[in-house]
C-alpha cells in the first residue's frame, strides 16, 4: 500500500523546507514566490532526506525563477507515482 501525498501537505513541506534551508523567514514565502535553481536543488536534497525518498529536479531552467507552486506540482507527481523510471522521465 502506498501513501497518497496531498497537495496541501506537500505545499507545507516545501514552505517549511524553504525556511529550514535558510532562504526565507516564516510567513514570507507563498505559492508565487520565485526560487533560483540552486535553491530548488538544495530543497530537493533536504526533502529527500526528510521523506527518505530520492527526489531529483529534472526540469529545465526557466527565464525567470522557479515558482513554489511549480515545485509543489512537480513533487505531487513524483511522490504519488509508483516509482517507475518511465513515469519520472515523462515528467520532464
pLDDT at 2 over 80: no
Euclidean distance between CA atoms 32 and 35, whole angstroms = 10
pLDDT at 87 over 50: no
pLDDT confidence of residue 85: 44
pLDDT at 1 over 80: no
pLDDT confidence of residue 17: 94
Secondary structure (3-state) at 34: strand
pLDDT at 86 over 80: no
Euclidean distance between CA atoms 23 and 89, whole angstroms = 29
Euclidean distance between CA atoms 7 and 27, whole angstroms = 18
pLDDT confidence of residue 84: 46
User: Pick the residue with more confidence: 3 or 52?
Assistant: 52
Q: How far is CA 64 from CA 31, 33, 34, 47, 75, in A?
A: 15, 11, 8, 23, 20
Q: pLDDT tens, 36-83?
A: 999 999 999 999 999 888 999 988 888 889 999 999 999 999 998 865
pLDDT confidence of residue 82: 60
Amino acid at each position: 500500500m502506498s501513501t497518497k501525498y496531498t497537495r496541501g501537505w506537500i505545499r507545507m513541506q516545501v514552505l517549511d523546507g524553504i525556511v529550514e534551508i535558510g532562504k526565507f523567514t516564516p510567513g514570507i514565502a507563498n505559492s508565487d514566490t520565485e526560487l533560483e535553481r540552486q535553491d530548488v536543488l538544495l530543497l530537493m536534497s533536504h526533502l529527500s532526506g526528510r521523506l527518505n525518498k530520492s527526489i531529483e529536479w529534472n526540469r529545465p531552467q526557466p527565464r525567470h525563477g522557479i515558482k513554489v507552486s511549480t515545485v509543489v506540482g512537480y513533487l505531487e507527481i513524483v511522490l504519488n507515482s509508483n516509482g517507475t523510471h518511465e513515469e519520472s522521465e515523462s515528467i520532464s
